[in-house]
Amino acid sequence: MPNEYTRTQTEAQGRPRATLSTIIAATRSGLGALRDRAKELEAAALSAATPPAWRDAFGGWEVTVIGEVKRRSPSAGEIAGSLDPALYAAAYARGGGRAISVLTEGPHFGGSLDDLVAVRGAVALPVLRKDFIIDPVQVFESRARGASAILLIARGLHRGELRALAQLAREVGLATLVEIHRASELDAALATEPDAVGVNSRDLETFRVDVGIVEELLREIPAGTIAVAESGLHSRSDVERVASWGADAVLVGTTLASAVDPEAAVRALAGCPRNTAARSAG
């Protein structure tokens, strides 16, 4: 069976690979119809039932495992094309997952908002909408469909855009996970007063994974801010390593979504003690 590196290389040789820039450009070009429904979606967001609180997934003695519902990706190719989002989310919860991430982007990741709705109906855990959020109407849409939190990628947004989307999310009752990959993005992320900062070891332009970046950046996140390690996490030893650097949580996608027994796969990662002394008080 080919590993992730082999799949990535094969895909790169066979056709041009999508990057953060091209995915955001495609997302932006497809927003017209959604913007036409802005008032409808805003009303739906403001009247939607209150979802489970994002903050309730964090703050205990152990590293929070956020299990991701994910069918494919530009880096790994096909992961679990026939994945049932509700069944996987329930399995993650039984295995000790404290929150669920749902990839809703369709063309490159095989997701949809229907996946988010299915997961929201299957578990009583906070649900993160993981997508390329670049417009206010997507914030309304996320809240209307039952998300507890949304992902905002610092590298994909101008500083003013990032701040405005984070502020709107707060106003409609959504938490934010602001993702960074470089030290230069941390100040912009923290300026939004995020509910969590995610450090992605994968460069979304080149798809190279550099776990050393995670160590460097986790240690720079103030202790009062939830810090989430993302990408390149496969085993209990990986979780223990990022915990030693100060991670409060891990977001794990490919390893869990491709598992034959997702409940057991989450259980193997859960229960790792946090290291609350690894980061400064800021």
Residue 121 main-chain phi, psi, to 5 deg: -80, -15
pLDDT of residue 4: 36
Residue 280 domain-assigned (yes or no): no
Domain that includes residue 41, residue range: 4-269
Residue 37 domain-assigned (yes or no): yes
Tell me how far the alpha carbon of residue 145 is from its chain's centroid.
17
Say whether 250 sits in a helix, a strand or coil: strand
pLDDT of residue 38: 94
SS3 of the chain: helix, strand, coil, percent, to 5: 45, 15, 40
Tell me the pLDDT tens digit for each residue of 141-198: 999 999 999 999 999 999 999 999 999 999 999 999 999 999 999 999 999 999 999 9
User: 77: pLDDT confidence band, cut at 50, 70 and 90?
Assistant: confident
Residue 282 domain-assigned (yes or no): no
Domain of 38: which CATH number? 3.20.20.70
Question: How many Å apart are CA 164 and CA 140, to the nearest integer?
Answer: 13
Q: Looking at per-residue confidence, does 55 or 207 come out higher? A: 55
Residue 92 domain-assigned (yes or no): yes
Residue 278 domain-assigned (yes or no): no
Question: How many Å apart are CA 265 and CA 271, to the nearest integer?
Answer: 12
Q: What average pLDDT does the segment 1-20 reach?
A: 46
Identity of the amino acid at 106: G
CB environment 82-117: b (16+ within 10 A), e (fewer)? ebebbebbbbbbebbbbbbbbbbbeebbbbbbebbb
Residue 246 domain-assigned (yes or no): yes
Is 11's pLDDT higher than 80?
A: no
Residue 189 domain-assigned (yes or no): yes
CA distances from 22 to 19, 28, 93, 259 (A): 5, 10, 34, 29
Domain count, the chain: 1
Q: How many CB atoms within 10 Å of residue 258?
A: 17
Nearest residue to 208 via CA among 14, 20, 39: 20
Q: What is the DSSP string of 16-38?
A: PPP-HHHHHHHHHHT-HHHHTTH
Q: What average pLDDT does the segment 210-228 reach?
A: 91
Tell me the pLDDT tens digit for each residue of 245-271: 999 999 999 999 999 999 999 999 999
pLDDT of residue 279: 86
Is 75's pLDDT higher than 80?
A: no
Is 232's pLDDT higher than 90?
A: no
pLDDT of residue 228: 97
- pTM confidence score: 0.91
Q: What average pLDDT does the segment 130-146 reach?
A: 97
Residue 276 domain-assigned (yes or no): no
| CB burial of residue 203 (10 Å; 0-12, 13-18, 19+) | middle
- When the pLDDT of each residue in the chain is averaged and rounded to a whole number, the result is 90
Six-digit token string for 239: 């979780």
User: 281: pLDDT confidence band, cut at 50, 70 and 90?
Assistant: low
Residue 282 in contact with residue 249, Cβ under 8 Å?
Answer: no
Locate all alpha helices (DSSP H) within the chain, ordered by sequence.
Answer: 4-14, 20-29, 32-35, 38-47, 85-94, 113-122, 136-144, 159-172, 186-191, 211-218, 236-244, 254-257, 262-269
Residues in the chain: 282
